[in-house]
A and B are shown apart, each in its own frame.
Chain A
């Protein structure tokens, strides 16, 4: 029963926090807005592999996106790198790809042989 009362109270709070949204109120609130994004903190390890990936990939992706990928095979990384070149026109050539793929695999630790 107490639980029900708690829930009802929460719902009432949610309701009372709702607009008010009269058009004038919202319209009046649309002011010039500018934001500053926080400084980037993520970095890859200062290893040859980390440095290569930093150089070739982080113009578009912060390092955390790369480091947080699940363990991927070289084949999967190859597909991703090729997609970056073909679909997104990343400034890399097919000849650059083996080194990039190898570095990505190294960064994750070598996966078991398939």
Chain B
């Protein structure tokens, strides 16, 4: 081999060795996510977490292996993906002294204890939490940012209280336009605080809620203990973790995280020509339908002429999953997959199918989700510079032998 300067592959190799060197005893398991540079370590070293794909150690970015979601609508808390922006994240919380402050354009600012929050009417909702940049590493051409595979996503049964009821304890003042939400994480010196905003109407729609529990248990610290915002149907960037401050605003929230980051092209599919610049943008918002394979890998082998079973999960985005269809001819014909019972329109829906025996050979199997609004996935990939909202129809290679 010719001598060459250190390249990315070598840098990754060094990283891998570093990881293995410190993981005494524990066999460092690797996973290949199927794109250049997509070799990752699986680690069970993260608190309150099982085996997770480590994308970044600080601030933690932990991805869920799709196989960990197989056969179940609700993603286990200890396998739920983790995403923080800044390294100064909460690592200790005393629920007795924790306060949720509601201020700004309200009749009376309040500082609520968790006991105060618990007194409000309880609601629960199944909802998919998906990072805006889920599947970013599959963009072509590639874009900078967290190089997620498909696993920056999970579904949980969230229980808690309506944001509307919390706002009403303070009393939204006339002229209120937006609601700013932020949590216990802190920026490095000089960097903009991570905070997001929703319109007052959205915040008060009765669906946006504050979760006190996730799948019937307290939230893991890395997923926002003690409470986090749940914005059903919307991308995770709004689901502020360790939520402790709500500020009602009479104008737009014009900070970096609303006006510069998490912006998508103002086109119907959030896509632009690769390399495009200076196009109109809007803050990312509602999710779109997606279907994933969970029971088979990207390249799966089956016995020739023997029927085989395949299943996965689908999400409708801003409305319920209406159908999942499978194709083995690149989308010329589609066949409906069976859907397991609906657990809530914003949640995952399990789909499954048995494919008739295939003669020896190589095939490709596509799975497409369509939601109740008639919105459906496309065979074509979109591109935008942020690597947001990928929702191209997923497929797996099938070899019958």
Interface positions of A (Cβ within 8 A of B): 2-4, 6-8, 10-11, 13-14, 17-21, 23, 25-27, 29-45, 47, 49-50, 59-65, 67-72, 76, 80, 87-89, 91, 106-110
B29 within 8 A of A: no
- Docked-complex contact A70 and B143, CB < 8 angstroms: yes
- Is the CB–CB distance between B56 and A67 below 8 Å? no
Please judge, given known A-B contacts A30-B95, A49-B6, A88-B191, whether A71 and B142 are in contact too, CB under 8 Å.
Answer: yes
Number of A-B contacts (CB under 8 A): 197
Q: A18 touching B74 by the CB < 8 A rule?
A: yes
Question: Would you call B122 and A7 a contact (CB within 8 A)?
Answer: no
Residues of B within 8 A of A67 (CB): 8, 11-12, 15
Q: Which B residues touch A88, using CB under 8 A?
A: 187-188, 190-192
Q: Which residues from chain B contact A25 at a C-beta distance below 8 Å? A: 216
Cβ-defined contact, A27 with B216, below 8 A: no
Report the stretch among B42-50, B196-204, B298-306, B389-397 that lies at the interface.
Answer: B42-50
Knowing A43-B18, A65-B146, A89-B191, the reply to whether A33 touches B221 (Cβ < 8 A) is yes
Chain B residues at the A interface, C-beta cutoff of 8 Å: 4-8, 10-12, 14-15, 18-19, 21-23, 36-37, 43, 45-48, 54-58, 60-61, 71-74, 86-87, 91-96, 114-115, 118, 122, 124, 137, 142-144, 146-147, 157, 159, 187-192, 212-213, 215-218, 221-222, 225-226, 256, 260, 309, 311, 338, 340-341, 350, 352, 354
Q: Is the CB of A43 within 8 A of B147?
A: no
Q: In the bound complex, do residue B74 and residue A41 qualify as a contact, i.e. CB atoms below 8 Å apart? A: no
CA distance A1 to B277 in the complex (A): 53
Q: How far is the CA of A111 from the CA of B96 in the complex (A)?
A: 54
Residue of B8, B93, B96 near A108 (CB, 8 A) is B8
A44 to B168, CA, bound (A): 51
* Cα distance, A80 to B54, chains bound together (Å): 22
Inter-chain CA distance A40–B45, complex, in Å, is: 11
Q: Chain A contact residues: over half helix, strand or loop, or mixed?
A: loop
Name A27's closest neighbour in chain B (CB-CB).
B118
- Would B212 and A70 count as touching, CB distance under 8 A? no
Known contacts A7-B311, A70-B36, A70-B142; decide if A35 and B91 are in contact (CB<8 Å).
yes
Q: What residues on B are CB-neighbors of A29 within 8 Å?
A: 213, 217-218
User: Quick check: B309 and A3 within 8 Å, CB to CB?
Assistant: yes
Query: Min CB distance, A42 to chain B, in Å?
Result: 5
A31 CA / B115 CA spacing, docked (Å):
12
Pick 30 A–B contacts, CB within 8 A, sort by A: A10-B72, A10-B350, A11-B341, A11-B350, A14-B72, A23-B118, A26-B213, A26-B216, A26-B218, A30-B95, A30-B226, A32-B94, A33-B93, A37-B47, A38-B43, A38-B45, A39-B22, A41-B21, A43-B15, A45-B14, A64-B15, A64-B55, A65-B61, A68-B55, A70-B37, A70-B144, A87-B192, A87-B260, A88-B191, A110-B5
Specify the chain B residue showing the minimal Cβ separation from A88: B191
Q: Roughly how many angstroms separate A68 CA and B143 CA in the complex, as a whole number?
A: 12
Q: Is the CB of B216 within 8 A of A18?
A: yes
Among candidates A18, A65, A87, residue contacting B56 with C-beta atoms closer than 8 Å: A65
- How many angstroms from the CA of A95 to the CA of B139 in the assembled complex? 32
What residues on A are CB-neighbors of B118 within 8 Å?
A: 23, 27
B92, A19: Cβ atoms closer than 8 Å: no
* Chain B neighbourhood of A71, CB < 8 A: 8, 142
